[in-house]
Chains A and B, each alone.
Chain A
Amino acid sequence: MGEFASLIHNENIKIFRRLRTWIMLVLLALMSALFPALIHFTTNGSNVVGLWDSFRTTVTIAFFLNTIFTALVAADSVAGEFTWGTIKLLLIRPWSRSKILLSKYISLVIFSLVSTGVLILFGYGSAFIFSSGAAGISGDMVMGWGQGEYVFMLILCSYIELFLTAAIAFMISSVFRSSGLAIVLSLSIMFTKDIFIAIFNPDRYEWANYLIFAHMNLSNYVVSDTGPGGATLGFAIAVLAVYYVVFMAVSWIVFRKRDVAA
C-alpha cells in the first residue's frame, strides 16, 4: 500500500510550501542573529561578554519564538485539514488514520528540528562574529561543565520543553480540531507554568510534584541535583514521559475514532 515515507513527504510539503513557514524561519534567523549584535553594542569595553555568554542569552530568548512557531505548526497540523476541508480527501486513501496521524507528527518533529537548527546556526554564527574571545565574565567552567557543554545542555532542556509544548498543541489540534484553541492553550501553559509552580509550590503540596508544570523546565538539573520539591532528574523525566504518552494516546485514540463530518 505504498511507501510510508511518501506520506511524510506529503506532510513536509504542506508545511514548507506555505509562505507562513518561511516567514517564521526568517524571523527566527533574524532574531537569533540580532541578539549577539545587540549585546555587543550595548556593553561597554570594561564589561566584555564572551562568545558563550552571548550565545546562551540569545538561545534563551530565541527559544521562546521557536516554541511559539513550533506550536503554531503543531496546531495547524490536524486542525488545518479540518478548516480547509481537505481532511475528507486525505482520509479516503488506502492508509489507516493512525499512519496518517503519525506522518503528521513526524513532519512536525522534523520542522521543530529544522527551526532549532536555524536558531543554533544563526545564533552561534552571530555570537561568533560579535564577541571578543571565548572567555567572558563567567569564566571557563559552570558547575563542572565546560562553557560550550553548558550551553548545549541548556539547548537540550529548552528543546524538551518545546517538544512537550508541541505535543500539547498537537493533541488539542487533534481532539478539538481548532488551531486557535491549540495555540492558546499550549502557549498559555508555557507562559503560566512558573506562576502555577509559585502558587502550588511542590515544596508545600506533595501532589504538585505530579503536575507537568513543575518539570517542563529541566535546566535546573544541569546545575543542581534536585529540582523543585526535591525531585530528582529521574523522577522529573518519568513524570514528563507519562504525560507525553498520555498526550499521544489521547491524540491517536480521538483521531482514529471520531466521525469526520466537517
Chain B
Amino acid sequence: MEKGTLRIKTGFAEMFKGGVIMDVVNAQQAEIAQEAGAVAVMALERVPADIRAQGGVARMSDPKLIKEIMSAVSIPVMAKCRIGHTVEAQILEALGVDFIDESEVLTPADESFHIDKHAFKVPFVCGATDIGEALRRIAEGAAMIRTKGEAGTGNVVEAVRHARSVLGAIRQIQALPREELMTYAKNHGAPYELVLWVHENGRLPVVNFAAGGVATPADAALMMQLGMDGVFVGSGIFKSGDPRKRARAIVRAVTHYNNPEVLAEVSEDLGEPMVGINLDFLSEEEKLARRGW
C-alpha cells in the first residue's frame, strides 16, 4: 500500500470534473456551498474581491478557520498558500486539507520560484495563463491546472483568454510534426517530455479548470463549452445578492452546459450578480494574473 503517489493525486483531481469548487470564508458559507452541490470548497479568509478592495499582504488563512470549515462539511476542502511559500504548504498538509492552491490571489512569497510540489503527499492546483506556464507547473508536481483569469473582478474575459490560449496551444502541439516539438518547447519554456505527452494525447496530463471572473451560470457553461473540465467560483457567489440560489444555478449550469433549455431555466431570477470591474480600469500592477513565473 502506497500513499500520496502522483497517480493518487492526479486521480483525485479527475473526480472534480464537471463540478464547481466554491470559495467560502466561514462554515456557514461552506454548508451553503455543499447544499448547492459544490464538489469542494476553497477555505479562505477573504474572497478575491475583498483582497483587491482592502489591499495589504494576503496570506494563508488561519488554521482555526480552515479546521472549522473542514468539520462543517463532508465534501473535500481546499486552501490557498502563497506562491513559493513552502512552509504555508507544509502547514496546510499537516492540517489535512485535501488540496492546496498555490495561488496568485495571495501575495507571492517568492518572486522566482514555485513550490516543489512533488515533495508533498497532498495534491496541488496552480494557475496558468498559457501552455508554457501550465506545463512548468505540472513538471513541478501540480495535479491540477486552472486558468488564472482575473480573480475578484466578476469579468470572465481573462479566463476565456487563458483557456483559449492553453487549449489552442494543445491543438497546435498535436498538429506539429515531431521534429518541431523541441523548438516549440524551447520557445515556450515548457519541459520537452510534457510537450511530447501533449502531442501524443491531445490534452494536458492533468485536469484543467476555469477560474477567475466567473459570475453567472452562463459564464460557467461558456468555460465548459470551450473545453474546460470544471469551474472554480471565487467572489462570484458570496458577493452576489442571493448566494444560495446563484450557487445552485452555477452547479446545474456546469452539468447541463450543453443544454440551453436547462441553462435558461437556471439563469432566471437570480438577483444581483457581483458588481464587476472593467479590466480596462485596472493598471498592470493591479492584475493578479501577472503573478507567477
* Chain B associates with chain A: no
Could you tell me which B residues sit within 8 Å of A by CB distance?
A: none
Could you tell me which A residues sit within 8 Å of B by CB distance?
A: none
